[in-house]
Amino acid sequence: MKFDINLKRERGSDYSGDCIVYFVAQNDDETPIITHIPDLPEAPFSDFQADEGETQFFYSGEFEADRLLLVGLGKKEELELSQALEAAASSVSPLEKLDIEQAAVVLPVELFENSEKLAEKTYLGFALAGYEFEQFKSEDNDEDDDEDVELGEIMLLFEDGRRQTSIERGIDSGKNIARAVSLSRDLGNTPANQMTPIELEAQAADIAGSSNNITLNVIDGDQLKENNFNLIRAVGQGSEHPPRLLELVYEPSKYQQTVVLVGKGVTFDTGGISLKPSKKMGEMKFDMSGAGVVLGLMQAVDQLKLPLRVVGLTPCVENMPDSRSTRPGDIVEGYAGKTVEILNTDAEGRLILADTLSYASEKWGEKADYLLDYATLTGASIVVLGHAGACLMGNDDKLCESLIKAGKTVDERLWRLPLWEDYEKKIESETADVKNIGGRAGTIIGGTFLRQFIDEEKFDSWAHLDIAATAWGMKEKSFRPEGGTGFGVQLTLEFLRDL
């Protein structure tokens, strides 16, 4: 992270750093609410309306800090916690542009009822906006002038000591969520020559190794063959990096519900024999973002000590063209005994997920309450929603509604698409049980294909999140930088914590 984030009990007007930041909401008449900002003169508000995302600097001799930064939240009656996250994130760029070394934000506890959640979202906004991926930059290549002032610290301030315990809890959870999102982003941003299936396994091993409640089971090599994981093998057999299925199980001492999370882990996707165009193929390092979400979540549920049993399954492969690669037209029998006519080797994510969902149904179906899968499955999802949100499908209305609600809370929006029986006809094959492509409505066809490999008598609460449009390329929010976004981590944690 670019800067440190710390907590201190202090009045904003007494803070003596370079800049003090206040979040400001609007009254009904669209004038700024300033009652929580002591000693602030009226004059600076002549052209500041506190619209959501609006920022304004000014100087005032009544404060110890050199500058004040006001950040708009929008109308008070419409305030949601996600706006505190966005306000924190949108503060970072103005602070950096003015060469400010130290800044503080006064937590606006008067505007939000839940001080714990406010502290969490504020911390998270700063942490996500301060994310940077520089693992592969050498120090010698640093072009920054040594004399440039960089933002080194942001202090979160509060006055009321009665709120201290709840605020500290919020900061704690904000740190853990930020770590999970950052891990997911790091995994996606890492180039494919460094992030191979075996390296994903190493990341999973690190998560399990740092926990007393997580175990890791790896299915690879002959085990994949002996246990009929033939669709995973079919996708990965053209690569020199062997495929594997990772199974992480978080099991605390006490729990009442079990949730299974499945993440697509294609560490690089050339399309195989159905080769992709070369333009933007480098972005296919992000095709393991579903696995990145699941690994980030497994780390977070452990650090947050959630009283749930959570299973993380990530099939990890590299899809490469080779003399050993699966050919268009090949028929392969999957884990559940169902045969698939593979007409397009670039529709590979659904194949590895098919084996994994079948395995999840068999092993966990009667023990688990929910099944969620995350996949950069279809480019068609970008046609549906652009980069504004992810596509959601599922067999349980209540589950889908809960996920949509959780997404709104953290500004990770979902839009539900239907899984009508009509679409099942599109994947009927004349020579196998199903085929892996089916014409138009590509995103729904992908979800329909996956549904064929779930035992719905065991898993009647399943949801599929197609995150191809949101795993990278979402540039319109200040808390989502260039590259991987970690989309799905926050909304799922919101859902799991509600459970």
The residues assigned a catalytic role are 276, 350
Q: CA-to-CA distance for 185 and 81, rounded, in angstroms?
A: 23
Q: CA-to-CA distance for 466 and 353, rounded, in angstroms?
A: 12
CB atoms under 10 Å from CB of 218, counted, come to: 16
The tokens describing 77, both together, are: 């009656």
The answer to whether residues 22 and 37 touch, using CB atoms and an 8 Å cutoff, is yes
- Chain-centroid distance of CA 244 in Å reads 23
CB atoms under 10 Å from CB of 130, counted, come to: 22
The answer to whether residues 257 and 367 touch, using CB atoms and an 8 Å cutoff, is no
Total residue length of the chain: 499
Q: CA-to-CA distance for 99 and 243, rounded, in angstroms?
A: 48
Rg over alpha carbons for the chain, rounded to the nearest Å, is: 24
What is residue 381's three-state secondary structure?
Answer: helix
The tokens describing 388, both together, are: 């504004």
CB atoms under 10 Å from CB of 226, counted, come to: 9
Q: CA-to-CA distance for 185 and 131, rounded, in angstroms?
A: 9
The answer to whether residues 367 and 259 touch, using CB atoms and an 8 Å cutoff, is no
Between the CA of residue 390 and those of 160, 224, 411, 413, 467, what are the distances in Å?
Answer: 40, 31, 11, 6, 5
Evaluated on CA atoms 352, 353, 358, 361, the torsion sign reads positive
- Chain-centroid distance of CA 453 in Å reads 25
The answer to whether residues 10 and 157 touch, using CB atoms and an 8 Å cutoff, is yes
The answer to whether residues 285 and 188 touch, using CB atoms and an 8 Å cutoff, is yes
Burial (0-12, 13-18, 19+ Cβ within 10 Å), 498: exposed
The residue behind tokens 């067999």 is 395
Nearest CA-CA partner of 434 in 416, 413, 448: 448
